[in-house]
Each structure stands twice: as C-alpha cells, then as structure tokens.
Amino acid sequence: MSNDEKDDLLFRALAHRSRRRMVDALKTGAKTTGMLCELFPELDRCTVMQHLKVLDEAGLLIIERRGRERWNQLDALPIHAIHERWIGPYAAYAASMLGKLKRTSERKEVVSQSS
C-alpha cells in the first residue's frame, strides 16, 4: 500500500465526528469495546464496531484480546506522521517568521527610544 493510500485511509477515518470522538476517548488509555459503547449511547454496538474497524484499517488502533474482551488502544503514529509531513514544517516556518518580526519590532523600539 502506498503512502498516499495510507493517508487516504487515515483522513477517511478521521473525517467522521464519531470516530474523532472515539480517538479522543482512547487518548486517555485503552478501552474495551463495551466501554466505548457506554461512552457513545447514541450508537448501537454494531455501529461502534464498524467505526472501530475503519480506525483499525487506518492503523489507528492496537487491538488486544484478553479472554472475551477486546481492548482498543490508540496508535497515534499515523497522526504523528501527518503532523511531521504537513504541520511541522509550517510551524517551524511560522516560528521563524515570528522571531524575525520580534527582532524587527525590538530594533524599531530601540530606535524610537533613542530619538
């Protein structure tokens, strides 16, 4: 699977509000499917399982079976890869530009005070 195909799966998974809420819920730690069903009473168990399948296919879950329970844990590495690819470089550029703006402003302030 190409990187573009992996990105498509990730963005598709995060495009749905309920899946983003599930990712948020999993940030605090692993949860069983039953726990997630309790957190989302507006969704039936089958719908929760369908959303978990999409998150799993996007590489956002680490699933562990313990007896009859299925524990779902967030794997944030795909999100981090997106950050590194698109957000990180722009954040560094923005910080650089803010630094230049600050230095320019401080120089103008020093010139104004000495006049």
- Model pLDDT, residue 88: 75
Q: What is the token pair recorded at 30?
A: 């692993």
Q: Which domain holds residue 29?
A: 3-75
The number of helix segments (H) and strand segments (E) in the chain equals 6, 3
For the question of whether the overall pTM of this predicted structure is more than 0.85, the answer is: no
pLDDT digits (tens, 9 = 90+) for 18-73: 999 999 999 999 999 999 999 999 999 999 999 999 999 999 999 999 999 999 99
> Domains in the chain: how many in total?
2
Q: Identify the CATH number of the domain in which residue 47 sits.
A: 1.10.10.10
**43 and 9 within one domain:** yes
Rg, Å, the chain Cα set: 22
Q: Buried b vs exposed e over 77-102: b needs ≥16 C-beta within 10 Å?
A: ebbeebeeeeeeeeeeeeeeeeeeee
